[in-house]
Amino acid sequence: MFRVPGRSVARLSAWTAAIGVTGAIGFAGTARADGVSGTLEGFGADQTTLVSVKGPDPRMNRTLPMGYMNLRLDGGEVIKVYCVDLLHDVTDRYQESSWEGTWLADKDVPAVDKAKLKWILGNSFPTKTLQQLKDASGIAGLDAGEAGGATQAAIWHFSDGAEIDNAKEKNEDVKKLYDYLIRTAKPDDGSEPKISLTITPERLTGSRADKPGIGPFTVTTSATGKAISAAPTGTSGTRLVDKDGATVTGRLGDGDRVWIAPPEGTEAGEATLEVSGKASVEAGRVFKGLKPGQLVIAVGQRDIKVEDSARAGWTAKQTPPTPGGTTGDTAIPPTPPTPAKGPELAETGGSGVDTPAVLAGGAVLVGLGAVLTHRAVRRRATKTPAS
């Protein structure tokens, strides 16, 4: 099954344009790095089977080693990943990231392609054992290297529009499994997997008098149930509270919101909200290189240790409220005095006032007033008193 070349080239162009501004794939313009990070260690065991592919871009016509790779997270766990950007080489350091800014967020990419790619990640090697894959595909002689190579080629089919080059590829088991995966992949779920753990925003600043406290801070995690511990550190007596001001003592879950309540009697202060626990890196979660390099995507699901933090600062002085939270990254400056109200003007995108017109109008009014006054004086001077 061949991808329509025009659509694939358009996707490639959109992705190239997205990274061309900075010349790098990664975090240009991003204030913080969320989720977990790690070092790419290279191919897994027996994962260097040579496979020939071709695609709508001539640079895709290559024979290269394929298979899953090991990404060792900074916490020590190892997750397995495949590549999803054929025209770039891999790099060493990777950071968990969202689909935003990648082809996976491109509205022109059919949702069915993303869903089928995710299905392959969850239903091929190594998520499924070699024996399970043999039984499902009917390929009795399949080995681990062939399974990894065919899986990578099938992923590139949906991510880059590449195909196995049947004229060059001589490994029949690779071709059979590739065809099986492309034919069998189901468009069950094309949604983006959740990040392992993050708490947002990174920092808020407010007043000690803000109720229920400085916040809200929102937990986003792939962990199920209430699996995330949270505690404030810093200024003694600081509490973690809910929207009603009650102290939070239990664990948090995805979507939970909390506030930092400064201790009574403090003037200015700061606290750090630390969250940690166990979550998972789910199939389809993307990792971007910290240097220019190919995107990699998680296969299967792996439970990992996670942690993140946010900061809250406060002053003794009341700060003006802002919709949805107490403040932004810095204290809000005092509101300037409100000028005397004049006639309300419709918002039209400009300043709403034409200065020359106002001056001309004022001159007309002054002139008209002088004429009327002169007429009134003349009328009173010439009027005959009643006898």
Q: Which two tokens stand for residue 232?
A: 């404030």
Q: Which of 236, 234, 217 is nearest to 270 (CA)?
A: 234
Q: Which of 125, 217, 208 is nearest to 174 (CA)?
A: 125
- 9 inside domain: yes
Q: Do 71 and 216 have their domain in common?
A: no
Alpha helices in 138-237 (DSSP H): 144-160, 172-184
Q: Do 18 and 99 have their domain in common?
A: yes
Is there a contact between 196 and 98 (Cβ–Cβ < 8 Å)?
no
CATH number at residue 264: 2.60.40
CA-CA distance, 115 to 77, in Å (whole number)? 27
pTM of the model: 0.69
- 332 inside domain: no
Contacts of 261 (CB under 8 A, 6+ apart): 212, 213, 214, 238, 239, 240, 241, 245
pLDDT, position 326: 54
The domain boundary residue, chosen from 144, 161, 184: 184
Is there a contact between 161 and 11 (Cβ–Cβ < 8 Å)?
yes
CA-CA distance, 60 to 156, in Å (whole number)? 10
Q: Do 169 and 212 have their domain in common?
A: no
- 269 inside domain: yes
- 367 inside domain: no
Q: Do 167 and 267 have their domain in common?
A: no
- 25 inside domain: yes
| Residue 105, number of CB atoms within 10 A of its CB | 14
pLDDT in tens, the chain (387 residues): 223 233 333 333 333 333 232 222 222 223 345 789 999 999 999 999 999 999 999 999 999 999 999 999 999 999 999 999 899 999 999 999 988 878 788 777 788 998 999 999 999 999 999 999 999 999 999 999 999 999 999 999 999 999 999 999 999 999 999 999 999 999 988 888 999 999 999 999 999 889 999 999 999 999 999 999 999 999 889 999 999 999 999 999 999 999 999 998 878 899 999 999 999 999 999 999 999 889 999 998 889 999 999 999 999 766 555 555 554 443 334 434 444 433 332 222 333 333 333 334 443 333 434 433 333 333 333 333 333
**Which pairing describes strands 302-315 and 203-207: parallel, antiparallel, or unpaired?**
parallel
The domain boundary residue, chosen from 184, 219, 243: 184
Is there a contact between 113 and 3 (Cβ–Cβ < 8 Å)?
no
Bond from prior residue into 343 cis (ω within 30 degrees of 0): no
Residue in this structure with the two tokens 């010439």, named with its chain if needed: 382
- 192 inside domain: no
Q: Do 24 and 165 have their domain in common?
A: yes
The domain boundary residue, chosen from 155, 184, 213: 184
Count of structural domains, the chain: 2
Residue in this structure with the two tokens 């099938």, named with its chain if needed: 154
- 372 inside domain: no
Q: Do 30 and 175 have their domain in common?
A: yes
Expressed as residue numbers, the domain containing 242 is 197-280+304-315
Q: Which two tokens stand for residue 228?
A: 């995330």
Q: Do 14 and 156 have their domain in common?
A: yes
Q: Do 204 and 237 have their domain in common?
A: yes
pLDDT, position 320: 58
Q: Which two tokens stand for residue 290?
A: 């910290």
Q: Do 180 and 203 have their domain in common?
A: no
Q: Do 156 and 231 have their domain in common?
A: no
**Measured torsion, CA atoms of residues 218, 222, 226, 232, in degrees rounded to the nearest 10:** -40
Q: Do 101 and 26 have their domain in common?
A: yes
Q: Do 167 and 255 have their domain in common?
A: no
- 333 inside domain: no
pLDDT, position 110: 80
CA-CA distance, 127 to 118, in Å (whole number)? 12
Q: Find the distance separating the first CA and the last CA of the chain, reported in whole Å.
A: 114
